[in-house]
Amino acid sequence: MQQIYCIYPEIKFLKLSNMNKQKITVLGIGAMGSRMAVNLLKAGYSVTVWNRSVKPTQALAAKGAVVATTPKLAVKEADIVISMVTDSDASKAVWLDSETAALSGIRQGAIAIESSTLTVSWVKQLAAEFQNSSIAFLDAPVVGTLPQADSGNLIYLIGGEVATLKQAENVLLSAGGGKINHVGDIGEGMAMKLAVNAMFGIQIAAISEIIGMLTKNGFELEKAVQFLSELPVTSPAAKNAANLILKGNHVAMFPIDLVEKDFRYVMQTAKDVEAATLISEAIHRVYLDAAQKGYGGDNITGVAKLFI
C-alpha cells in the first residue's frame, strides 16, 4: 500500500485498491489527459471522455472508455470530473461557455477537479461558479510531464477543502499521481504550480544561454555540458536539460508554446497582487522569441536554439 503525505504533516493519505466502480469523466484528451484516462481505465474505473476533436478519443474508446459528444453529456453520470485542457480560455469553454458546457450537466454530489495550468484569477472565478451550484471543487494542477504521467509519479498541488480531497484522493492517485500535496485554499494550488513552472523555465533558459556563451568562446558543446553538469550550482533540472541539449533531443514533453503561456499567467497572477516580475518578464520574452521563430512545438529545451 502506497502512503502519500501532504505538506501538512497531520494529514495522511493512503492509496487503496478500487473497491467500487466509480464513474470518472476526463475532459480534454491531450497528451496529459489521455494518459490520465488510460491510467484510470487500468485501475478499473468506468471512464467517460470528451475532447473538442474526436480523433484523440478513438484509442481510448478501444480501451473501454465511453466517448461523449459534449462536456455536458460527458459529466451527466460522473462521480468525479477531471479537466485537463490547454489554457484558461479552454477551461472556461469546457465548464461554462455554452448550453453544452459541463457545469450545466454535473450532478449534485459529484466533485469537479481542474488539473490544467491556468490563471489564479480564473480558478477562483470558476470555484465561485461551482459554489453557487453547490458542487464540490478542487484546484489540482500537477507537477510532471509525460514520463511521470505514464509511471504514476505526478505530484498534485491541491487547493480546496481537505474533506473534498479525501473523497477524491484515490481517483487522483489512480490517474497518475505519486504524491498529493494539499497546498491550501482554492487558487493556492494553481499559484504554486505557476511558481514551479516559472522556476523550471528560468533554469532552462539560463543554462541554454550559458551553454551558448561557452560554445561561442571556443568550448566544444560536449565539454561545456560535461563541465556544467558536474558543478554544484547546476540543478538536477538544468543538468537534465543540458544533456538533452547536447543530444539535440527536443521532442516535446513541455512544449515552448505552453511555457510561454505559463509565463504570461505568472505575470498576470503577480500583477493581480502587485508583485514584481522583473525576471519572469525577461524570461517570458525569451520563450516568446523562441515561439515566434517557429520552435513553439519543441520541448522547453528547444529554447537553446536561440543561443547555440
Question: Domain boundaries in the chain?
Answer: 2-184, 192-306
Is the model's pLDDT at 9 over the cut of 90? no
What's the whole-number mean pLDDT along residues 83-103? 96
Asked whether residue 11 carries a pLDDT value surpassing 50, the answer given is: no
**Are residues 305 and 290 in contact, defined by beta-carbon separation less than 8 angstroms?**
yes
pTM (global) more than 0.95: no
247: Cβ contacts below 8 Å, ≥ 6 apart: none
Going by pLDDT thresholds of 50, 70 and 90, the confidence category of residue 98 is confident
Residue 197: all three cell numbers together:
513552472
Same-fold call for 2-184 versus 192-306: no
Q: Which residues contact 78 (CB under 8 A, 6 or more apart)?
A: 23, 24, 25, 48, 106, 107, 110
At position 263, the amino acid (one-letter code) is: F
How high does pLDDT run on average in the chain? 94
Q: What pLDDT is stored for residue 20 in this prediction?
A: 53
Segment 107-130 shows an average pLDDT of: 98
What was the pLDDT predicted at 16? 42
Cell 453529456 belongs to which residue?
73
Per the CATH hierarchy, to which homologous superfamily does domain 2-184 belong? NAD(P)-binding Rossmann-like Domain (3.40.50.720)
The confidence score (pLDDT) of residue 21 equals 82
**Looking at domain 192-306, which of 3.40.50.1820, 1.10.1040.10, 1.10.8.100, 3.50.50.60 is its CATH number?**
1.10.1040.10
